[in-house]
Chains A and B, each alone.
Chain A
Amino acid sequence: MTEIPMGRRPRRRLPVEWLGILPFVAFAMLFLILPTMKIVIGAFQSPEGGFTLQNLIDLNTDSIRNAYWTSIKLSLITALLGCAVGFAMASAVVFGGLPKRVRSPLLTFSGVASNFAGVPLAFAFIATLGPAGLVTLWLKTEFGINLRAMGFNLLSFWGLVVTYLFFQIPLMILIIIPALDGLKREWREAAEVLGATGRQYWQMVALPILFPSLLGTFALLFANAFGAVATAFALTGPQLNIVPIKLFAQIRGDVLGNPNLGYALAFGMIVITGLANVTYIVLRTRSERWLK
């Protein structure tokens, strides 16, 4: 038995075992990596096939710059508000002394609402805040408040913000409640024993610990809003100038008049959501060290 050369076994066994994940790797290559590579490479190709930076330079038009800026603004604002409101609701349930019965329905509802995005969500908001919506009519008849005259239009930037919050807030609640649960009671007690006020505890103990998960969730919410197409499309149709809608129109009918510019537009989206998610993953690994 001892005659078997020790060095040979790992070398021979390794490839056979890696074969077990071959179907998965093949699937990921064919339907995830290669299609993305095609876009990335296309962004740096001229129509003749040579290497060029012209497509990225061509992105620098008023209309496309505006689309990116609106998309980034939309994602930042909905992520920020989603985080703030979600955090308030989550901490109300975890620390606010509310009855225990509230927690489980809130989590279930958040699971439903964070998945209730897309076309039906747009319909729900049109029926509520649209020109003939429930809240719009109610405010008009009961209080004489005319939302439209006040400058609110559901089919505009701020209308989109309100609608996106319907899935952003629940997503925040779902992610942040486990993090809040991870704050140990001992930390609070230790802070109080040392004479800290509630505000000091939050400022100097709880928030620094939560900071990575807060910022990480913020990044996830950002990417979530940035890539969303269906809600915006069903709400405003093809006219609202945000990047996913622009790309949708470009794929359908080459509205930019240059297929390679479409690649560049999509490449820009990957870069932005990629940056947001790299931040998320890095910060998440950091925060999990604390919340064991």
Chain B
Amino acid sequence: MTRILAWAALIGGCLFFLLPLVGMTEFSLKMRRGVYSFDAYVKVFEDPAFWATFGYSLTLAAATIVFGVLLVVPTAYWVRLKLPQARPIIEFITLLPLVIPAIVIVFGYIRLYNTSSILPLTGSAFGTDILLTMGYATLALPYMYRAVDTGLRTIDVATLTEAAQSLGAGWFTILARIILPNVLVAVLSGAFLTLAIVIGEFTMAALLNRPAFGPFMQLLGANRAYEPPALAVIAFAITWACMGLIQLVTRFSKHERAKV
């Protein structure tokens, strides 16, 4: 009896999740009347704006990941090693982006960093790009910090540091050559999650007026019929790839550890 109910719950739920995926795939293939074709995808890939915005978002994602790693790894390491008493405060701060909606944060940016302020970041395209990267780093902070902190928990930070120091390593060497390789799997998980968040992000990019992939998709959605579901299929594939890569690196590391 429970088993029947369990199957019913699972199958019912899966149906709800599969239908939109089937729906968008089917719709994206219907551009040519009467037959299934990849015309919508061809149209999307032929659009220079697709490549421009996609490349822009990819670049910002890379910048966000690099910045996030440089910010989070040393901080999480330092807190574990020297400042356990700062832990509750840091954890609270890293959770704040889940509390404050992204639209409110970006609203604050626009008002705080406008052209008449001390730090007029929104005055130039490059300044706005930096602001947007910082915004994305903020959005990714809860995930990045937790991933790295969990990674650090599995290694003996204090012993590794002392061993490296007694061999004459400085802080930079310790972080770059001891700590980072040891938490690489956690860092990669955080990086792929950041990529999944940044690549289709809409609100911040739209309000800061930058040509990112999210606003491009929205604009296409408002004007076309068959390209949007094709974009949805592409976006879903990217999200899936990011999650798949996270699983892959995690599994890979388990094998590594099992061998040792």
Contacts and interface: CB of A to CB of B under 8 A. Distances in A.
Interface of A: 17-18, 20-21, 23-24, 27-28, 30-39, 42, 85, 88-89, 91-93, 95-98, 102, 106, 108-109, 111-113, 115-116, 118-129, 132-135, 165-166, 169-170, 220, 223, 226-227, 229-230, 233-234, 237, 244, 247-248, 251-252, 262, 266, 269-270, 273-274, 277, 281
Given A223-B98, A223-B99, A233 B218 contact: yes
A229 B100 CA distance: 13
A234 B217 CA distance: 9
B101 A23 contact: no
B200 A266 contact: no
Contacts of B72: 24
B45 interface: no
Contacts of B86: 18, 21
Contact of A92 (B10, B135, B141, B196): B10
A98 B103 contact: no
B105 A36 contact: yes
Contacts of A113: 17
Contacts of B134: 27, 30-31
A108 B243 CA distance: 7
Contact of A93 (B10, B82, B240, B243): B10
A230 B103 CA distance: 10
B120 interface: no
- Which secondary structure dominates where chain A touches chain B? helix
B138 interface: yes
18 contacts: A24-B72, A31-B137, A32-B105, A89-B9, A92-B5, A93-B10, A96-B10, A111-B246, A112-B243, A115-B242, A120-B236, A123-B24, A132-B27, A134-B23, A227-B101, A262-B107, A273-B99, A274-B100
Contact of B201 (A118, A129, A220): A118
B184 interface: no
Interface stretch (B55-63, B108-116, B152-160): B108-116
B123 interface: no
B19, B106, B231: most-surrounded residue (chain A CB, <10 A): B19
Nearest to B135: A31
A30 B45 CA distance: 38
Contacts of A32: 93, 96-97, 100, 105, 138, 141
Interface stretch (B31-39, B161-169, B221-229, B252-260): B221-229
Interface magnitude class on chain B: 35 or more
A134 B19 contact: yes
Given A134-B22, A251-B207, A277 B98 contact: yes
Given A31-B138, A39-B107, A273-B101, A135 B202 contact: no
A120 to B, nearest CB: 4
B124 interface: no
A124 B20 contact: yes
A273 B27 CA distance: 36
B3 A20 contact: no
Given A20-B74, A128-B24, A134-B27, A244 B112 contact: no
Nearest 7 interchain pairs by C-beta: A96-B6, A35-B108, A128-B23, A227-B101, A127-B27, A230-B202, A92-B6
